[in-house]
Amino acid sequence: MNTAPETVSQNTGSSLFDIASIRSDFPILDQEVHGHALVYLDNAATAQKPQPVIDAIEKYYRRDNANIHRGVHQLSERATRDYEESRKKVQQFLNAADSKEIIFLRGATEAINLIAQSYGRSQLQSGDEIIITEMEHHSNIVPWQLLCEQIGTVLRVVPFNGRGELSMEEFHRLLNPKTKLVSVVHVSNSLGTINPVEEIIEAAHSQGVPVVLDGAQALPHIAVDVQKLDCDFYVFSGHKLFAPTGIGALYGKRELLEKMPPYQGGGDMIRTVTFNKTEYSALPYKFEAGTPNIAGGIGLGAALDYLRTIGMDAISNYEHELLVYATQTVATVPGLQLIGTAENKASIVSFVLDGIHAHDIGTILDHQGVAIRAGHHCTMPVMQHYGVAATARASLAFYNNRDDVDRLVAAIHKAKELFGR
């Protein structure tokens, strides 16, 4: 994942990667925007869906639409089977020890809130410290701030340097007997930095401190083995992983999940209910109150099947070469400053242009058929670190290619031309 300048082969990943075939699996890419062929470079916000995922969702609604776990009729049984099979696929994709360690939720945001309100409120107390980093998404900041307000815990923040790399010296300094939880982004959504989570976990565990990893931006790009990492919790969102919106998962070590109280109450998370007492279901259903996003869960399973057919190592290698090419090519634009130049990066190219606001860049690029993200990317502290209001962010996926990068750079030049820069 080293993104230092290097020579990139002209046949990027071609020996392992049939990019034309892959692109044909994503029907949304075959369209024009403002009279130009679409170049979709907003994958960190949400990724597009391959045809097998679309087919799986359509099949559920066309043939199997029924509630799960409760029905004895055939439609319910088929829907339940497919939904629970997807849970096993998540377990296998993460290499979790047990499918009961996989909790289906709306996404990474809800998963972090669950940890904060269930594990945090039951296991932490006033004066305990939680370590996060300066590059966190708001969803890994605000839930902990709420917990601090509720029970008096204290938030400690690890800074990063100008390249977008964590100060591990400061992390080790902040880690102390008062630390009771560490929650860190695996891959930064606004910088692309791949954090040294192995070192973080080892250091935290040496002091008996559990670690939460926000994997929303990691799973689409790199292989993740939660048992090898030995993280205590891992969260992700399906829609960034080529699956539907409104579905994601929390992995948690079983011994931790067992002692955590339910996050929400309602149907399907109970064993028995009386007006005097409620007994809760076993894992994972204790944390899955109400009718879930059944189609989303089935679609997530289909997305993981699709990724496995390509292989995460092949995806990672291809995207690395494409990121190197994109970084080198974008950096040639006069007046452009890259934001986030860590040595170890995933597929994010964030930048600012002299004299042109990021939102104007995004608008002009859209009229050239190039979709990027412009704004603070739900990481306002990162923007404050660099002294900018917003950045333009091009985020790559394995269905992007060098032509997409060249179109991006041409559109940036067009923006400079329109602004007389």
Tell me if residue 361 falls in helix, strand or coil.
helix
- Do the Cβ atoms of 378 and 189 come closer than 8 Å? yes
Domains 19-30+311-418 and 54-308 in one fold: no
Mind telling me the catalytic residues?
378
- What pLDDT does 16 receive? 58
Q: State the distance between the two ends of the chain, measured CA to CA, in whole angstroms.
A: 33
- Specify the 3-state DSSP secondary structure of 340: coil
Bridge partners for 73 per DSSP: none
b/e for 272-290, b at 16 or more Cβ within 10 A?
A: eeeeeeeebbebbbbbbbe
**What does the alpha-carbon distance between residue 163 and residue 196 come to, in Å, rounded to a whole number?**
15
E strand or H helix at 233, and its extent?
strand 233-237
* Domain boundaries defined on the chain: 19-30+311-418, 54-308
- Residue 296 buriedness (CB in 10 A; 0-12 / 13-18 / 19+): buried
What tokens were used for 227? 């048992």
CATH class of the domain defined by 54-308: alpha beta
Q: Which of 394, 376, 107 is nearest to 240 (CA)?
A: 107
Phi and psi torsions of 375, nearest 5°: 150, -155
Q: Which of 205, 248, 250, 208 is nearest to 230 (CA)?
A: 205
Looking up tokens 């980093």 gives: 133
Q: How far apart are CA 281 and CA 293, in angstroms?
A: 19
For 93, the token pair is: 């994709």
Distance CA 418, CA 357 (A): 13
Assign domain 19-30+311-418 to a CATH class.
Answer: alpha beta
- Do residues 17 and 44 touch, judged by C-beta distance below 8 A? no
Burial class (CB in 10 A: 0-12, 13-18, 19+), 14: exposed
Tokens of 75: 């439609």
**Among candidates 342, 314, 343, 324, which has minimal Cα distance to 405?**
324
pLDDT values of the chain reduced to their tens digit, one per residue, 421 residues: 333 333 333 344 334 579 999 999 999 999 999 999 999 999 999 999 999 999 999 999 999 999 999 889 999 999 999 999 999 999 999 999 999 999 999 999 999 999 999 999 999 999 999 999 999 999 999 999 999 999 999 999 999 999 999 999 999 999 999 999 999 999 999 999 999 999 999 999 999 999 999 999 999 999 999 999 999 999 999 999 999 999 999 999 999 999 999 999 998 898 999 999 999 999 999 999 999 999 999 999 999 999 999 999 999 999 999 999 999 999 999 999 999 999 999 999 999 999 999 999 999 999 999 999 999 999 999 999 999 999 999 999 999 999 999 999 999 999 999 997 6
pLDDT for 420 equals 79
pTM for the structure as a whole: 0.94
Local structure of residue 240 (DSSP, 8 states): G
Q: How many helices (H) and strands (E) does the chain have?
A: 15, 17
CB proximity list for 111: less than 8 A, separation 6 or greater: 103, 105, 233, 235, 236, 248, 249, 250
Q: Exposed, middle or buried by CB within 10 Å (0-12, 13-18, 19+), for 357?
A: middle
